[in-house]
């Protein structure tokens, strides 16, 4: 098994994630792995690229997700710097670069949400996932219908970040949230959310006979997966 790429370590004295430029070499870095909590060694030699490594080889076999765990922690730690966020294209967000009005970190009604973004008039719950921390489908029924759900698959950033400068990874990760479409998937798109204060319309699909009510962008028939045969009129 390949050794995991560990971009950040948890500084034991502060509990904060740090990059390798901020610590002493070797075990004097006083850092633990964000994946398995094992001791880390900071390797800051003159030949190879600086990197963290597990102190005990046995830890490598039990910690294959140190990269993703580190990314989840550093994103939460740096969220106060996020000013905008690039999202997958939707009918509602034709300009996919959303200005972030506010961010709320933590859980919502005991569901595993990493943070909530308030942008324009939308509320977006963001879930950071990877192979060892999968998306919780209960969110689709548990969260209120006015909340869009965006999944960000952290393992899809591995190739891009592994070859980067470890001393600038914090900025690269934040830039990926702001400017990059990689790994981002709508689990509940904004046009499928309830916006009761927007003008409401009655929709009817000529093809399958389905009918529903919603805002102007909620014109996609769930049965036919198309808006092409949908008729609609304003609700007074």
The verdict on residue 1 lying in a domain is no
The pLDDT of residue 209 is above 90:
yes
State whether 79 and 187 are in the same domain: yes
- From the list 93, 97, 220, the residue with the least C-alpha distance to 148 is 93
User: Which phi and psi angles does 207 have, rounded to 5°?
Assistant: -75, -45
Last residue of a domain, one of 17, 40, 64: 64
Over the stretch 114-147, which tens digit does the pLDDT of each residue have?
Answer: 999 998 788 999 999 988 888 989 888 888 999 9
Q: Into how many domains does the chain fold?
A: 3
State whether 186 and 205 are in the same domain: no
State whether 127 and 169 are in the same domain: yes
The pLDDT of residue 208 is above 90:
yes
CA distance 72 to 55: 22
The verdict on residue 119 lying in a domain is yes
- From the list 184, 206, 196, the residue with the least C-alpha distance to 129 is 184
State whether 183 and 87 are in the same domain: yes
CA distance 130 to 34: 14
The verdict on residue 2 lying in a domain is no
The span from the first CA to the last CA of the chain, in angstroms, equals: 63
Domain that holds residue 216: 201-234
The verdict on residue 4 lying in a domain is no
Determine which helix (DSSP H) or strand (DSSP E) holds 58, and give its type and residue range. helix 57-62
The pLDDT of residue 229 is above 70:
yes
CB of 11 within 8 A of CB of 40? no
The verdict on residue 113 lying in a domain is yes
What is the pLDDT, as a whole number, of residue 60?
47
Tokens of 73: 């922690």
Tokens of 190: 């904004």
State whether 87 and 17 are in the same domain: no
Over the stretch 144-182, which tens digit does the pLDDT of each residue have?
Answer: 999 999 999 988 888 777 766 767 778 888 888 888 888
Give the single-character DSSP code of 88.
-
**Span 14-37, average pLDDT:** 89
């Amino acid at each position: 098994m390949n050794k995991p790429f560990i971009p950040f370590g948890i500084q034991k004295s502060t509990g904060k994630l740090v990059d390798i430029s901020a610590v002493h070499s070797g075990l004097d870095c006083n850092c633990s792995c964000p994946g398995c909590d094992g001791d880390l060694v900071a390797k800051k030699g003159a030949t190879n690229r600086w990197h963290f490594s597990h102190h005990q080889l046995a830890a490598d076999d039990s910690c294959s997700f140190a990269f993703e765990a580190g990314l989840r922690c550093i994103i939460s730690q740096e969220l106060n710097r996020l000013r905008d966020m690039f999202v997958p294209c939707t009918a509602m967000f034709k300009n996919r670069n959303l200005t972030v009005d506010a961010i709320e970190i933590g859980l919502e009604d005991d569901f595993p949400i990493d943070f909530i973004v308030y942008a324009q008039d939308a509320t977006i719950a963001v879930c950071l996932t990877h192979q060892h921390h999968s998306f919780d489908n209960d969110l689709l029924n548990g969260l209120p219908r006015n909340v869009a759900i965006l999944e960000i698959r952290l393992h899809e950033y591995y190739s891009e970040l592994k070859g980067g400068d470890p001393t600038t990874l914090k900025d690269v990760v934040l830039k990926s949230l702001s400017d990059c479409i990689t790994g981002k998937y709508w689990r509940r798109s904004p046009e499928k959310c309830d916006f009761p204060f927007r003008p409401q319309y009655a929709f009817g699909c000529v093809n399958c006979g389905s009918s529903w009510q919603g805002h102007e962008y909620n014109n996609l028939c769930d049965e036919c997966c198309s808006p092409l045969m949908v008729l609609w009129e304003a609700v007074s």
